[in-house]
Amino acid sequence: KAGVTQTPRYLIKTRGQQVTLSCSPISGHRSVSWYQQTPGQGLQFLFEYFSETQRNKGNFPGRFSGRQFSNSRSEMNVSTLELGDSALYLCASRQDVNTEAFFGQGTRLTVV
């Protein structure tokens, strides 16, 4: 059974650009959630999608957005990148609430 796949693994972008990250969940999992990890703030919840609907959103500016497709794959978009957006972005897939979460390897974004 394939795990959670995040692409790309590494990305370098310039301040002001926009970026799209992708997460393919485990087959059969309908919940995909996204997290930002920085040395200063640790892991923080961005948002969660279930069956193409955003169910929860963390405390991040509107520059951070996401969507989920009918095959449960999810994308996360960050517009007008800032230096402080440099982080490891992780996604996790679950069948639903109260089920085990499986994390991807993450996308390491560097904004220069």
Give yes or no for a contact between 59 and 1, defined as CB atoms under 8 angstroms apart: no
Residues forming a β-bridge with 94 = 31
The yes or no reply on residue 44 touching other proteins (CB under 8 A) is: yes
Instruction: Give the DSSP letter string of 42-92.
Output: EEEEEEEEETTEEEEE-S--TTEEEEE-TTS-EEEEE-S--GGG-EEEEEE
Cβ 32 to other proteins shortest distance, Å: 10
The yes or no reply on residue 97 touching other proteins (CB under 8 A) is: yes
Give yes or no for a contact between 101 and 25, defined as CB atoms under 8 angstroms apart: no
From 20-28, 65-73, 76-84, 95-103, give the range in contact with other proteins by CB under 8 A: 95-103
Residues forming a β-bridge with 66 = 76
The yes or no reply on residue 94 touching other proteins (CB under 8 A) is: yes
Of these, 24, 31, 68, 74, which contacts other proteins (CB under 8 A)?
Answer: 31
Positions that interact with other proteins (CB under 8 A): 31, 33, 35, 37, 42-45, 48, 50, 55-56, 58, 88, 90, 92, 94, 96-106, 108
